[in-house]
A and B are shown apart, each in its own frame.
Chain A
Amino acid sequence: MENAEGHGVELFDAVNAAIGSRLAESRHLLLVSHLRPDGDAVGSLLGLGLALQESGRSVQMVLADGTPSAFGHLVGADRISAAIRPGFDVFIALDCAESMDAGNAAAQLGPPNINVDHHASNPGFGTLNLVDSSQVSTSAVIARHMSSWGLSASAPVAAALLTGIISETLGFRTANVTAATMRQVADLMDQGADLPSLYLRAEVGIAVHRRIRSAHGK
């Protein structure tokens, strides 16, 4: 698939339709993101995972390295596990750029059914590949496309996705932040994400250690 820099949503119509029908027939999903998870790994995993759970599906959310305590405040963070259990009909990789860097257990499963990412370097290792490099983060890719999969963003979903955007853009300062990004942020805030409080807790700049410790309640 060609990189989507500057192209509209319609470029993804075909793959979105395929992802939508794959999700529609799914009952048990496995979602994984990458090793040494950052805010976008956690945010995209929780964002899509919670949205699928809210639509009545059973979802395993897996980070082989576990969830960093800095993200313990996000709803659903305690539902992320480090191990994969058998029994899923759809396998989704999120924010895994170069290849399946989601850990050995995930790699042994073979290509994921769905690969969602924002890295232009993503080779498209899934059966269905949504690689939208016009977006600042994988959580932004999900925020942009999830309605076409029949999913909506509740407040916890919006908070997870916004956390991914905040941390991947270092607080809206990277060169790829556009007016569309800011409108997307405004929409997530309308859906219930509390930007100032999520910003304080996200891993941005010099405040990292303070936030990690406050996430521990110290």
Chain B
Amino acid sequence: MENDVSAAIKAQLEAGQSFLVASHVRPDGDAVGSLLGIGLALRDAGKHVQMVLADGVSSSFRHLEGADLIKTAFEPEFDTFVTVDCADYKRTGKLLAGLRQPDVNIDHHVTNERFAHLNLVEGQEVATAAILTNYLPAWGYPITRPIAAALLTGIITDTLGFRTANVTPEAMRQVATLMESGVDMPELYMRGLVRRSFAAARYWGRGLGNLERRDGIVYGTLTLEDRKGAAYSGSDDADLINVISAIDGFKVAMIFVEQTHQHVKISWRALEPGIDVSTVALRFGGGGHAAAAGADVEGALDQVTRAVIKATKEMLRL
């Protein structure tokens, strides 16, 4: 079945001349890495390619070659529409709302809604960038050094530096192969996963200052006020969830990030094996993996927090 999908995608990419390639809002390393991976590969093959991220590229990934080609707007003329790392279509953001159905959807989230004509969804892969690492050469697109750097960044960030439970020997060998194209993996690791701006660290401080715990859940909150106070330019959590996930003695870590227009972005991390946080994320219109999931919920921060904590507690009692 996947061979059929792969062959159909290969043909579709071959036939296309003008591409729109998009990934999700608040883009992480896998969104940027998989977008650049396929976008640069298509450009190298002589195609016209528009790479789009509704929220643009955060400073953690601007060092990647080709990142300056990613735009926050697009021209309506394209014949082939591809999404990468989007579990559902609305993850592409308001910018792309109402566009026609995508032709190709490449993703590694088990909750993927298979919203495109051709859906290549491999939930066992550590990152969408890992799927592209496997398939790009088979589709006839060589993995050049800039493409390898982008794909490696996706794998490094989605595995939190090769530490998530889904990391296999095959994934490590894939990393080795990408490194052999000449990229400096430790440098990509430092830039993508470790180095953070002064503003991001101050923003963390605000979130850590109001940590709460309740029935096996540890969670922090970042308000619009916190963002302004720290002069943090992103609308995400600056990966504070990874710091909260290191706190001992809890089953689930969470972060609530207040957004403009009465929205709250929520991330869950399972801290013990056997807990599937994607189920509760799905209940709130989000998705993700057993160990890491997210959702964007409409409503006031305190109301959303109450409702989501209640649902998460219910999930834990199952």
Contacts and interface: CB of A to CB of B under 8 A. Distances in A.
Contacts of B262: none
Given A175-B186, A177-B185, A196-B164, A186 B194 contact: no
Contact of B167 (A174, A195, A213): A195
Given A195-B167, A196-B165, A185 B248 contact: no
Nearest to A213: B248
Given A179-B180, A186-B169, A187-B169, A200 B163 contact: yes
25 contacts: A171-B161, A171-B162, A172-B186, A172-B189, A173-B189, A173-B190, A176-B186, A178-B179, A179-B175, A179-B179, A180-B176, A182-B172, A182-B176, A185-B169, A186-B172, A186-B173, A189-B168, A195-B162, A196-B163, A196-B164, A196-B167, A199-B162, A205-B246, A206-B243, A210-B248
A173 B169 contact: no
Contact-residue bracket for chain B: 20 to 34
A26 interface: no
Nearest to B171: A186
B176 A186 contact: yes
B247 interface: yes
A144 interface: no
- Looking at B172, B179, B247, B248, which has the most chain A CB atoms within 10 Å of its CB? B172
A98 interface: no
Contacts of B193: 173
Contact of A172 (B162, B164, B170, B173): B162
A171 B163 contact: yes
A190 interface: yes
SS class of chain B's interface: helix, strand, loop or mixed?
helix
The 8 closest A-B CB pairs, nearest first, are: A186-B169, A179-B179, A182-B176, A186-B172, A210-B248, A179-B176, A189-B169, A199-B163
Nearest to B178: A179
B124 interface: no
SS class of chain A's interface: helix, strand, loop or mixed?
helix
Contact of A210 (B172, B190, B194, B246): B246
A95 to B, nearest CB: 21
Interface of B: 161-170, 172-173, 175-177, 179-180, 185-187, 189-190, 193-194, 243, 246-248
- Looking at B186, B190, B193, which has the most chain A CB atoms within 10 Å of its CB? B186
A172 B161 contact: yes
Contacts of A171: 161-163
Contacts of A196: 163-167
A83 interface: no
Contacts of A176: 186
A186 B180 CA distance: 15
Contacts of A177: 185-186
A172 B185 CA distance: 9
Contacts of B167: 195-196
- Looking at B161, B168, B169, B246, which has the most chain A CB atoms within 10 Å of its CB? B169
A207 interface: yes
A143 to B, nearest CB: 14
Contacts of A206: 243, 246
A172 B172 CA distance: 11
A159 B161 CA distance: 18
